[in-house]
């Protein structure tokens, strides 16, 4: 079975086309229950790897980055204080997560 045929098969079985292109060949990817498949080169990404990105540590780190971006564009001192408090909270959480080894 060619990749295009299996792609059509996956969509028929409830797979969905992804907006994100394949990391390797920039081809169209399909999301299905076990993971993500590139129609073009056939690269398969297991769902486990996708789940990794939502692990607590990564989520908090992403949030800290978002806060820093907000802080960069913020002129209001009170809002800066709010954002820095939030960043400190995230860092505290990150520290606690490290201890728990989640």
Q: What is the DSSP string of 41-55?
A: T--EEEHHHHHHTTS
- Token pair listed for 95: 């520290």
Among 3, 40, 84, 89, binds Zn ion (CB under 5 A): 40
Residues in contact with Zn ion, total (CB under 5 A)? 8
Residue 4 found at the interface with Zn ion (CB under 5 A): no
Least CB distance to Zn ion at residue 27 (A) = 4
- Judged by beta carbon, residue 44 or residue 79, the one nearer Zn ion is 44
Please state, in angstroms and rounded to a whole number, the distance separating the CA atoms of residues 93 and 77: 24
For residues 36 and 67, which CB has a smaller minimum distance to Zn ion in the complex?
36
Closest CA to 36 of 24, 25, 44: 44
List residues binding Zn ion (CB under 5 A).
22, 24-25, 27, 38, 40-41, 43
């Amino acid at each position: 079975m060619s990749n295009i045929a299996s792609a059509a098969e996956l969509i028929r079985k409830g797979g969905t086309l992804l907006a994100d292109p394949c990391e390797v060949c920039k081809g169209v990817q399909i999301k299905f229950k076990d993971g993500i498949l590139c129609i073009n080169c056939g690269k398969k990404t297991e769902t486990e790897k996708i789940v990794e990105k939502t692990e607590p540590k990564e989520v908090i780190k992403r949030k800290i980055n978002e806060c820093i971006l907000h802080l960069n564009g913020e002129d209001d001192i009170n809002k800066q204080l709010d954002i820095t408090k939030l960043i400190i909270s995230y860092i505290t959480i990150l520290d606690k997560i490290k201890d728990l080894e989640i």
